[in-house]
Amino acid sequence: MTPGDPLRMVERKMAWMRTVDDLGVPLELQEPPRRIVSLVPSWTETLFAFGCGSEIAGVTRFCIEPAAAVASVVKIGGTKNPDVPAILALRPDLVIANAEENRREDIERIRAGGVAVFTTYPRSIAAAVEAILKLGAVVGRPAEAGAMAREIVRSVSEIETGLGAWNKLRFRVFCPIWKNPWMVFNGDTYAHDVLRMAGFNNIYAPAGERYPRTTLAAALELRPDYVLLPNEPYEFGAKDVDELKPLLPPALSRRVVLIDGRDLHWYGVHMVDGLKSLAALLARVRAATV
């Protein structure tokens, strides 16, 4: 059958879903997906929240939520090194990926195997909400996605409204995501927008690279008011705090805070409680140090 064949054109019109993903790649599904592989931990949690549990055929080993539900799901490697042959062997109707968490070459290999891939790329809270709505439509759960999105929008509005005077007096934060070498994120990232929502300014917002390397000395030259250490992707902990404090000016050494990396980086259903949790923690920290 040639591309211009009338029968093929009729078949295309009968597709159940036609859309484009966040990278502009067309996605066409003939029917709602019944076998889904997720390569993104936050989207895995969200798919279960949508009620897609029976349709999840495979996840990565980093897909840890909901813990009880994912325990019995087939693991297909990591986010950066998925087992593509194992994914294809599961015969999925759809693979969910992310432009930052997954490698383009792996996504292309999956598509080359004849499997539809929906790739997300949210770089702000608003874009993450839009991605929830698009994902819900793609997996046949638009109502569930809509309810989730509305709840998140309400939470964000309450957080931003509750800032009051802090909305003008924004403290500056150094928030590394890796150590040895130190790595941070600029203003074109979801994590940056989360800090903005909570009333803080990311000192690396103007950086040209989205995830630049830096040094502690360079960070201190930018005069941060706080240091926030998330426990993912690098698992910062109490030991890192103890090692870092002697290297900081006295005032700043008293403003080193461990935060939940999922509250900072995970979108989807985690936003419902995660954004409120992080904002509440940072509000308490801010109130205790002024």
Residue 11 has pLDDT above 50, yes or no: no
Domain boundary among 118, 149, 180: 149
Which one-letter amino acid corresponds to residue 233?
P
134 vs 222: CA distance, rounded Å: 38
Task: For residues 196 and 175, state if they share a domain.
Answer: yes
Does 46 map to a domain? yes
Is residue 110 within 8 A of residue 149, CB to CB? The reply is no
User: Does residue 45 sit within a domain?
Assistant: yes
Which CATH number is 135's domain given? 3.40.50.1980
pLDDT at 215 over 60: yes
100 in a domain, yes or no?
yes
Query: What pLDDT score does 4 carry?
Result: 52
Nearest to 92 by CA among 115, 112, 69, 75: 115
How many structural domains is the chain composed of? 2
Number of C-beta neighbours around residue 281 at 10 A: 17
Whether 10 is in a domain gets the answer no
Where does a domain end: 89, 120, 149?
Answer: 149
Q: What percent of the chain has pLDDT over 90?
A: 90
Q: Write the pLDDT tens digit of every residue in 22-55.
A: 999 999 999 999 999 999 999 999 999 999 999 9
Q: How confident is the model at residue 121 (pLDDT cuts 50, 70, 90)?
A: very high
d(CA 258, CA 161): 25
- Give the pLDDT score at 46: 98
Strands 94-98 and 116-120: parallel
Q: Where in the sequence is the domain holding 182, given as residue range(s)? A: 162-288
pLDDT given at position 10: 44
Of 102, 127, 149, the one marking the end of a domain is 149
Taking alpha carbons only, the member of 50, 149, 42, 49 closest to residue 102 is: 42
Distance CA 44, CA 214 (A): 32
